[in-house]
């Protein structure tokens, strides 16, 4: 059973990476529609690029739940851990390397892949772990929903800090 679970999560790594890569360009494809800004990056800020992990991970979770529910434990807990791990890894690695050198798109893509892999690895470990208390699943569902709301709010009402600043225009949010 762990082998099937591992295959699912490795497939998820690829799906999330490819879907997130495609999401990068979809805001413009949808004519810069504000509703599209909920799901797709509206500018070149680090924060907006975190959506490339959030929404594809949620979509993959929704798709895979029916297949995994009988072979996995802690589903919502694992997904919550993944959706927080991916942006934290992204932020740490991005600001870690740009402290020493200029931004580089190849490194950025590699960081995206590493972040997705880290999230999926932690996700896999939690899915195959012994069942955790049920109340954690409820808390995890609330956390995922709250994170989606926060991402949406910060797209339309971003704090004026470096994380939210478009590196190309100096703008913030969906302006």
- Summarised one tens digit per residue, pLDDT across range 59-71 is 999 999 998 888 8
- Answer whether residue 174 is part of any domain: no
For residue 2, pLDDT over 80 is answered with: no
Contact 40, 26 (CB under 8 A): yes
Average pLDDT, the chain: 95
- Answer whether residue 12 is part of any domain: yes
- What pLDDT score was predicted for residue 113? 98
For residue 1, pLDDT over 70 is answered with: no
Phi then psi for residue 172, to 5 deg, are: -135, 140
- What pLDDT score was predicted for residue 175? 78
- What pLDDT score was predicted for residue 124? 96
Q: 158 vs 116, 154, 162, 172, CA distance in Å?
A: 24, 4, 10, 6
- Summarised one tens digit per residue, pLDDT across range 75-94 is 999 999 999 999 999 999 99
Domain assignment of residue 23, given as a range: 2-164
- Answer whether residue 173 is part of any domain: no
The DSSP call for residue 172 is B
> Around 74, how many Cα atoms within 13 Å sit in the side-chain half-sphere?
20
* Cα torsion 139, 11, 64, 22: sign: positive
- Answer whether residue 69 is part of any domain: yes
Count structural domains, the chain. 1
- Summarised one tens digit per residue, pLDDT across range 5-45 is 899 999 999 999 999 999 999 999 999 999 999 999 999 99
Considering the entire predicted model, what is its pTM? 0.94
- Answer whether residue 13 is part of any domain: yes
Give the whole-angstrom CA distance, residue 23 versus residue 18. Answer: 9
What residue has token string 């297949």?
67
Q: How confident is the model at residue 171 (pLDDT cuts 50, 70, 90)?
A: very high
- Answer whether residue 66 is part of any domain: yes
- Answer whether residue 170 is part of any domain: no
- Answer whether residue 175 is part of any domain: no
């Amino acid at each position: 059973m762990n082998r099937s679970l591992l295959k699912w999560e490795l497939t998820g790594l690829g799906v999330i990476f490819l879907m997130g890569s495609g999401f990068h360009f979809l805001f413009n494809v949808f004519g810069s529609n504000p509703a599209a800004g909920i799901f797709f990056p509206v500018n070149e800020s680090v924060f907006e690029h975190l959506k490339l992990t959030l929404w594809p991970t949620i979509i993959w979770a929704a798709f895979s739940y029916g297949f995994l529910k009988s072979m996995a434990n802690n589903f919502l807990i694992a997904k919550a851990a993944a959706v927080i791990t991916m942006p934290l890894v992204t932020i740490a690695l991005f600001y870690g390397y740009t402290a020493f050198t200029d931004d580089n798109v190849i490194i950025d893509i590699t960081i995206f892949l590493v972040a997705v892999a880290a999230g999926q690895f932690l996700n896999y470990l939690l899915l195959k772990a012994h069942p955790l208390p049920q109340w954690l699943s409820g808390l995890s569902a609330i956390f995922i929903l709250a994170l989606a709301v926060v991402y949406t709010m910060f797209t339309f009402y971003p704090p004026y800090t470096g994380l939210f600043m478009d590196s190309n225009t100096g703008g913030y949010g969906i302006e």
